[in-house]
Chains A and B, each alone.
Chain A
Amino acid sequence: MSASLETIHLPHLPSSLEVHAALYKDVQNAASLRQQLLSANSNFEYAFIDASMVISRAHALSAVFRAVNDYLNERLKSRNIHSEIVFSFSPTNNIADSFRKFGISDTTCNLLVVKVSVTPDITHDSVAAHLAQNVQGTLLPFDDEALAGISDVAKIKRAYKLGSLPSACSKQANGAPDEGKRQLELSVLGAIALRGAT
């Protein structure tokens, strides 16, 4: 199966704001990608997410939705829409902490990259070409099955303080999502939606 950069249109968001997402494993150059973020190189304005912190496609898309909605309402808490996507994964208001937990680190090997077409010159082809040149890793399909093999359920539970949920971990070989995992996923979606509610 050949995986590639996927371009997604999220329901309820303006169709011009396309979301481009790619999932990688065995990423070799996480440290240099992170360095580009730290130096605020505008060519590398991406949401680089540690894919082991992503439980499902819906999890990632709900963080993207929240960030884009906040962007449209001019409520960004961080520098740009892409840093906001990483921040949106967080259940708390601590931005630096959210980058540490959900963002790329020097040792990240499974990486989810998201880019939103905030200007017309960001297209599927331009993003695909730039990523192909700059990310050294193997593309995976951005779906629940691939994420199930990557995600670290125990770490995700800790990050969202959902340790008391009935244990989900038993990853079933047939890929059927068991009840516990479904409940974890739904709890995570709610936590993302409610972040910052005072």
Chain B
Amino acid sequence: MPTAHPPPFSTILSSTPQPSPTDLTPIYQGAEAHLYRTTFLSSTTPAALKIRPSKPYRHPILDRRLTRARILQEARCLQKLVKEGVSVPALLGVDWEPNADNGSSWLVMEWVEGGPVRVQLERWERYLKGVERERGLAMGEGIEKSEEEKVRGLMRRIGGAVGGLHRAGVIHGDLTTSNLMLRPKSAEAAVDEEGEGSPSMEGDIVMIDFGLAMQSAQDEDRAVDLYVLERAFGSSHPRTERFFEEVLVGYKESYKGSVSALKRLEDVRMRGRKRSMIG
């Protein structure tokens, strides 16, 4: 057995960067994982590579078990959703056994074109602010009917996407507008207008980052998922908060058990994300 070859992806973490024939463009670094843009199977197929590096402060045995369990959990959730036809990036490859040299595990997903919903909504809020300042209106008065409809349509599609996820028996665990992607329907529509105008909200909603996802069909878990999203809208996009009800409309229409989850949401709103430990 030859061992002279470096195992795949191991060059990333070695301190001396080697000239690699494969591009790895860092996209994002979180506390748990690093995300790169790369290619997979062919040099023309873009893909997202997620690496969970080992955490040196943990006991090695525990570290391997946690890394392994978490990467597998994410991979299983993605695969289940792909099979159910929910719009998430497909799982292309995974190695859950932590690398013998550096203890990291990796997962490769389909690349999702477009950008996060967060960016589009922030752009929209900036546009709105500009309109209001120009015309000397109070906050929220500058929204024209067509603008409102555009955002409501987006919100409704978000609700539909989350409903599809819950129907498949998966809980995202970290629904924010950064973890919702807006994928343009065609390549032409992808031309990004960086200008001051009202941004486009066309496209499919694709949910990403299932690092905290789990499989569950309980109303409680579904309601908390929605609650987290509601809070995310409230804190990141205050001008869209009054349209959040549209997310719930889209959600309600998307699967059969949605009504009981929505009912549970009202309880969760009263007490917050965590259940009371009393009684």
Q: Which residues of A contact B (CB under 8 A)?
A: 9-17, 57-58, 61-62, 65-66, 69, 71-75, 118, 162, 165-166, 183, 186-187, 189-191, 193-194, 197
Number of A-B contacts (CB under 8 A): 92
Cβ contacts under 8 Å, B38 to chain A:
11-12
Chain A: which residue is nearest B78 at the CB level? A190
The range of chain B's interface size is 35 or more
Scan B60-81; emit 1 where CB is below 8 A from any A CB, else 0.
Answer: 0000000000001001101100
Among B99-151, those with CB < 8 Å from A are 99-100, 110
Q: Known interface pairs A12-B22, A69-B8. Does A197 touch B96 (Cβ–Cβ under 8 Å)?
A: yes
Q: In the docked arrangement, what's the CA distance between A13 and B39, Å?
A: 12
> Whole-angstrom distance from the CB of B17 to the nearest CB of chain A?
15
Whether the Cβ atoms of A186 and B110 lie closer than 8 Å is yes
Whether the Cβ atoms of B7 and A62 lie closer than 8 Å is no
> B197 contacts the other chain (Cβ, under 8 Å)?
no
Interchain CB contact (< 8 A) of A197 among B3, B5, B75:
B75
Q: In the docked arrangement, what's the CA distance between A187 and B41, Å?
A: 16
Whether the Cβ atoms of B92 and A193 lie closer than 8 Å is yes
Q: Which of B38, B72, B93: most chain A Cβ within 10 A? A: B93
Whether the Cβ atoms of B76 and A187 lie closer than 8 Å is no
Q: In the docked arrangement, what's the CA distance between A183 and B81, Å?
A: 11
> Whole-angstrom distance from the CB of A167 to the nearest CB of chain B?
13
Whether the Cβ atoms of A14 and B5 lie closer than 8 Å is yes
Which of the 9-residue segments B82-90, B164-172, B244-252, B255-263 touches chain A?
B82-90
Interchain CB contact (< 8 A) of B41 among A14, A61, A165, A190:
A61
> Whole-angstrom distance from the CB of B9 to the nearest CB of chain A?
6
> B94 contacts the other chain (Cβ, under 8 Å)?
yes
Cβ contacts under 8 Å, A72 to chain B:
5, 7-8
Whether the Cβ atoms of B5 and A17 lie closer than 8 Å is yes
Whether the Cβ atoms of A190 and B79 lie closer than 8 Å is yes
Whether the Cβ atoms of B91 and A190 lie closer than 8 Å is yes
Known: A10-B41, A73-B95, A190-B78. 5 other contacts (CB 8 A): A11-B38, A12-B8, A12-B9, A69-B93, A193-B79
> Whole-angstrom distance from the CB of A178 to the nearest CB of chain B?
13
Q: Which of A69, A75, A162: most chain B Cβ within 10 A? A: A69
Q: Which of A66, A75, A189: most chain B Cβ within 10 A? A: A189
Whether the Cβ atoms of A190 and B8 lie closer than 8 Å is no
> B21 contacts the other chain (Cβ, under 8 Å)?
yes
Q: Known interface pairs A74-B1, A197-B96. Does A186 touch B90 (Cβ–Cβ under 8 Å)?
A: yes
Q: Known interface pairs A12-B22, A74-B1, A186-B110. Does A58 touch B76 (Cβ–Cβ under 8 Å)?
A: no
**28 A-B pairs in the complex with CB atoms less than 8 angstroms apart:** A11-B22, A11-B38, A12-B9, A14-B6, A15-B21, A17-B5, A58-B41, A61-B41, A62-B92, A65-B40, A65-B41, A65-B93, A69-B95, A73-B95, A73-B99, A74-B3, A165-B85, A183-B82, A187-B79, A189-B90, A189-B91, A190-B83, A190-B91, A191-B79, A193-B92, A194-B76, A194-B79, A197-B76
